[in-house]
Amino acid sequence: MILESVENGLLIWPTVEENGVTRPKKHSELSATEAIQAECDVKATNIILQGLPPEVYAL
């Protein structure tokens, strides 16, 4: 799933409408598949960030 995140982009968080207001779903409201995808997206992002030189963070 990490490779899928890199190849296809990050999960677009589903939204839910409450009282006429649309908001992104909370992590606890995601389906099992969506939750796994979200966790893999975070892992993929962390792996990429770990490979960046420290100078990038000083911008």
Specify the number of domains making up the chain. Answer: 1
- The backbone region for 7, taken as left when phi is positive above 0, alpha when psi lies in -120 to 50, beta otherwise, is alpha
* pLDDT, position 21: 93
Q: Which residues of the chain register pLDDT less than 50?
A: none
* pLDDT, position 1: 58
List the domain range (segments joined by +) for residue 19.
2-58
Q: What is the C-alpha separation between 27 and 29, in angstroms, rounded?
A: 5
pTM exceeds 0.85, yes or no: no
User: Across-strand partners of 24?
Assistant: 15
